[in-house]
Amino acid sequence: MMRFGLPLIATGSLAMAAASLYYATYSVRSQWLGRTYWRGRRDTNAVALTFDDGPSPDTERILDVLAAHQVSATFFMVGREVESFPGIAQRVLAEGHEVGNHSYSHPMYLFQRGSKTLDQVRRAQDVIAETIGVTPLLARPPYGVRTPAYFGATRALGLRTVQWDVAGFDWKRITPGQIADNVLRNAHPGSIILLHDGDSAGKQSRKNTVDALPLIIKGLRDRQLPIAPLSQLLPDIYNPAKGKRTDD
């Protein structure tokens, strides 16, 4: 009996360890490795729109839609893309939107050495600050994957991690209507909504996200869910100045 019991116990322990590792690193709500904000205050009806992987040429079209509807959003920027499109990054800030750190080149932190992870986060901070004049206070890791090294880097740089509780799944090949439906079916007071204004692989247009955005804005307003800056949903960690100015 013991001869068969020990391997079974070992196998079960490995499975539990693997499941725990997956939850700790991949689950957007996990707090195991470090403090993560995945939704905002629930004492307000407001929700926040966030965009990842830009800036890109599609960011300009998204900015046009946001301006037409007088909506503020938060853009988690990739440092390499900021270098490629500095004028668009500057426009994001100039039009009153908030900016966060989304790494320098969008790697999977799970497969990196700690020093490389720190370099990714720090390099993105430097590029964003040099380009737009504001140092981000918020970070979102690529793919939402966090590791001990990632949290070590964000603590060293004074960054807080913000994930999401609603996704448009606009990285899939789906229609604008489907993207909007994914958001509207799941949005609640305090929701942090994930969309994309760029593609880290440089292979996919965000045209469908652009076309979905007016549907999302109208649908949220029809449901009495006003769209607010992320800073208003997370007042305890982020001030309305949208970041720390480099000339302060």
Nearest to 4 by CA among 12, 16, 14: 12
Its pTM stands at 0.88
Residues linked to residue 100 through DSSP beta bridges, in sequence order: 76
Q: Which two tokens stand for residue 167?
A: 């996704």
CA angle 187, 227, 121 (to 5 degrees): 85
Q: Among residues 97, 181, 196, 199, which one is catalytic?
A: 196
Q: Which pLDDT does position 15 carry in this prediction?
A: 59
96 phi, psi to nearest 5 deg:
90, 15
Q: Report the alpha-carbon distance of residue 177 to residue 195 in Å, rounded.
A: 14
The question of whether 126 is a catalytic residue gets the answer: no
| Residues 95-142 pLDDT 10s | 999 999 999 999 999 888 999 999 999 999 999 999 999 999 999 999
Active-site residue (options: 52, 170, 181, 199) = 52
Average pLDDT over residues 78-98: 98
Output the pLDDT for position 239. 52
Residue 243: pLDDT band (50, 70, 90) is low
69 a catalytic residue: no
